[in-house]
Amino acid sequence: MQVLKRKSLALVGNHAVAYAVKQAKPQVLSVFPITPQTTMLEKLAEYVSKGELKAEMIRVESEHSAMAAVYGAAVAGSRVFTATSSQGLLYMTEMIYWAGGQRVPIVAAIATRALAEPWTIWDDHQDFISKRDAIWIQMMAENVQEAYDMTLQAFKISEDQRVIMPVMMGFDGFILTHTMERVEVLEDSEVDSFLPPRQFNLIDFSDPVGVGPIATPDEYIKIRYEAKKAMERSKDVIRDIMKEYEKISGRKYDLVECYKCEDADYVIVSMGAWSSDGKVAVDRLRNNGEKVGLLKIRVFRPFPKEEIREKLKDVKAVVTFDRAYSFGSGGILANEIKSALYGNNIPVHSVIAGLGGKDVRPLHFQNVIEDLISGKLEEERWIL
Amino acid sequence: MSLITNPRRIPKLYRGNAACPGCPIPKELDILIEELGEKAVLVVPASCTTVIMGDTTGMPSTIPVVHSAFAAASPIASGIVRSLRMKGDNDSIVAVWAGDGGTADIGFSAISGSAERNEDILYVCYDNEAYMNTGIQRSSLTPKGAWTTTTPEGKREFKKPMPFIMAEHKIPYVATASVAYPFDYQNKVKKAKQIKGFRYVHLLSPCPPGWRFDSSLTIEIAKLAVETGIWPLFEIENGEFRLTSISKTLIDKKNRKPVTEYLKLQGRFSKLNEKEIKEIEDSVDELWEEIKSYIKQ
């Protein structure tokens, strides 16, 4: 990696995302507070109040209205941003689908958090992953640096003429939102050239259109088919934009990240912050002579099926780590990976862990892999 | 993305839209759109108007229309207006056109939020006193005693006093209106247009199939609602209450037509007994006592 002399800041995840948002210069923000997103909202409010970010901030009465407000603002041509978590994401779900169905460029940061009931404020991915069919591009960050970088990428992906679709940037609640890390930030001028002003507006008084009318069944399925094609096209666009970002930042991004999995016999598949713990486990196992690797899913929608098939084609077995579960079916990532590997005859084991913020450490990953190698790992294991 | 384009420009709503026979909505929208002018956006949540405004094959409006989920109209309008202002557009107007359910029930928290923030929106509620788009189910604006498919015995509760609730938000302008008094309605929209901030106009909008009357009687019934005192025409401008049009003469009870004249034309009230009718009459008198207290101030 090219080492550049850059400005580094010590930022918690929420402030890193807020910093990226400030640099992206959205004209309208609408955010409703929820733990663990709140400190991001407070930072954005501070930027706006100090005039560091020239934006309209709509302090709405609910998440449903937050998404509605940025939807309206995006329809009328502004770059927009919102953020939420957990129950807030559920409360906004109707408008998440509305924005996805109409395909307007919106960026939402999701501080992932487990869902009630029982009440909880800690991290898992059930909230984020439940939006997988809403016609949104979904990405997950591993650390604070990625949360910063991917927020900037999200704006560009969302507004790309080949895509035009809302983008959700997920990052683990508390684990990233409240952890301070050294973050290398871009210069404002670099962000300006990466992210030129937005070209999108559906409100034209000289040529009025109806936005989002009733569709007949014939039209509805065609519009959905167009969305499917746009989602498929977005893979190349995401890759292009990540490459472009790499040129500026020196940091390499792709739909998936392969950590020592090129020659691996056994591969952990994971998404989000605990991928770092998984990598520590991989290093330890490698030191013990085991050929183990980790495949990180960075882009969850569109799901990078082909890339996963390619990376995993020669492995003996895969174990997915899921922080979310489809009750009555199985680990959600596990099911996605099984579907991607269909016909390859590679065993896929599923581990469910970390729900509701339950602590998971490198040792957990290590134990699971050791059990996998010695043939002792069940098809599905819950780490309770 | 689903968008429909407007093939020709005329100053109002097109003829031949999908409204039911006798529905006052096209006329009410005509007046609104004409008053708003060309630099206006209409936000329409799920309601009869969603259908009237056409499907992906054609749009009957000459101004941009943004369709909205049921509870989301006022925040979508907030987003649009803030976005337009950010881009230096200070003279366009963003209006919400919503039914009673979208306003007083599912959209209530959102409209209250937008009003509390005093968003620069003109909100028009066309009140047909039930969920008509799904076929006559009660809403919180259905009047007491009215039959609906979900109140087959007649609704037990009184109508939510929406214009007064909105006035309590201390917004700059609140008005009631009726399609039977088009100039009064038009003047109120004209006045509201000149005001900045959250403006609320509440239109009583009789519905022939929902209220069970002949489609030729729409205007007659809208007129009777005002003449009997059930639907007083007023405006509250910066907290100052003022009766308008014919309602100015109705403080004196003897000028008001008997409530039964309004009720008897509508099938939805056909099962009311005398006690229930008396209760409705009393509630109208109470309303006017309340109005008197506002005027004295």
What digits encode the pLDDT tens for the residues B85-121? 999 999 999 999 999 999 999 999 999 999 999 999 9
Return the pLDDT at B17: 79
Geometric angle at alpha carbon B100, from B265 and B229, rounded to 5°: 45
pLDDT digits (tens, 9 = 90+) for B195-211: 999 999 999 999 999 99
Q: Is B51 on the interface with A (CB under 8 A)?
A: yes
Question: In the structure, what pLDDT confidence band is assigned to residue B54 with cuts at 50, 70 and 90?
Answer: confident
Taking contacts as CB-CB distances below 8 angstroms, the residues of chain B near A104 are 1
Q: Is B90 on the interface with A (CB under 8 A)?
A: no
Question: In the structure, what pLDDT confidence band is assigned to residue B62 with cuts at 50, 70 and 90?
Answer: confident
Taking contacts as CB-CB distances below 8 angstroms, the residues of chain A near B53 are 210, 213
Find the CB nearest B87 among A71, A77, A226: A77
* Within-domain flag for B9: no
* Within-domain flag for B279: yes
With b for 16 or more beta-carbon neighbours within 10 A and e for fewer, the A159-183 pattern comes to bbeebbbbbbbbbbbbbbbbeebeb
Return the pLDDT at A115: 98
**Sole residue written with tokens 């984020």:** A128
Domain of residue B245, CATH code: 3.40.50.970
Return the pLDDT at B55: 82
Calpha distance B107→B120 (Å, rounded)? 18
Return the pLDDT at B4: 67
Tokens read off for A164? 């035009």
Over residues B17-31, mean pLDDT: 92
Q: Is B117 on the interface with A (CB under 8 A)?
A: yes
Q: Do A56 and B113 touch (CB under 8 A)?
A: no
B6 has pLDDT over 80:
no
Asked whether this chain's domains A8-249 and A256-382 adopt the same fold, the reply is yes
Mean pLDDT of chain B: 94
Domain that holds residue B88: 25-296
* Within-domain flag for B3: no
Return the pLDDT at B281: 97
ipTM > 0.90 for the complex: yes
Find the CB nearest A102 among B1, B87, B109: B1
How many separate domains does chain B show? 1
The pTM (predicted TM-score) of the whole model is: 0.96
CA A98 to chain centre: 19
What CATH superfamily is the domain A8-249?
Answer: Thiamin diphosphate (ThDP)-binding fold, Pyr/PP domains (3.40.50.970)
Class of domain A256-382: alpha beta
Tokens read off for B187? 């003047």
Amino acid making up residue B274: E
Q: Do A61 and B2 touch (CB under 8 A)?
A: no
Return the pLDDT at A6: 83
Q: Which of residues 265-304 of A touch B (CB under 8 A)?
A: none
Q: Do B62 and A208 touch (CB under 8 A)?
A: yes
Q: Is B111 on the interface with A (CB under 8 A)?
A: no
Calpha distance B201→B189 (Å, rounded)? 8
pLDDT digits (tens, 9 = 90+) for A281-293: 999 999 999 999 9
Q: Do B82 and A69 touch (CB under 8 A)?
A: yes
Tokens read off for A264? 């691996």
Return the pLDDT at B269: 98
Scanning every residue of chain B, which has its alpha carbon at the shortest distance from the alpha carbon of A208? B64
CA Rg value for chain B: 18
Return the pLDDT at B16: 72
* Within-domain flag for B17: no
Q: Which residue numbers in chain A have pLDDT < 70?
A: 1-4
Find the CB nearest B79 among A72, A204, A219: A72
* Within-domain flag for B161: yes
